[in-house]
Amino acid sequence: VQLQACGGGLVEAGGSLRLSCAASGRAFSTNAAGWFRQAPGKEREFVATISWSGSRQYYADSVTGRFTISRDNAKNTVYLQMNSLKPEDTAVYYCASGPYYGGSESGYPYWGQGTQVTVSS
């Protein structure tokens, strides 16, 4: 599975962005998918995950109520809708795919290249 993330950019606090992650490979539609982020000087952290069918989603506390993860298996794409963005959301965002639904990086063997999100105050 190869992943390509896009949709990052510069936005003012309170604004919105939608990230997309397009996957190649048939295994994507039977794998869980997740988003992680890494801010400057910090370790990469979990943001959100979605089960292979899309029926289950789980979020980090810091983004619950503001971010929504979704997927379209017909298009081999997973999305992250980010609303009410805050400067502390500034980070490189990575999409990932793997057989296990959850918030641990070790459950995701496939990773995209990352897309930069910058939120100005």
Compute how many other C-beta atoms are within 10 angstroms of the C-beta atom of residue 36: 23
Over the stretch 19-32, which tens digit does the pLDDT of each residue have?
A: 999 999 878 888 99
**What pLDDT is recorded for position 106?**
93
Quick one: average pLDDT of 63-81?
97
d(CA 65, CA 63): 6
**What pLDDT is recorded for position 96?**
97
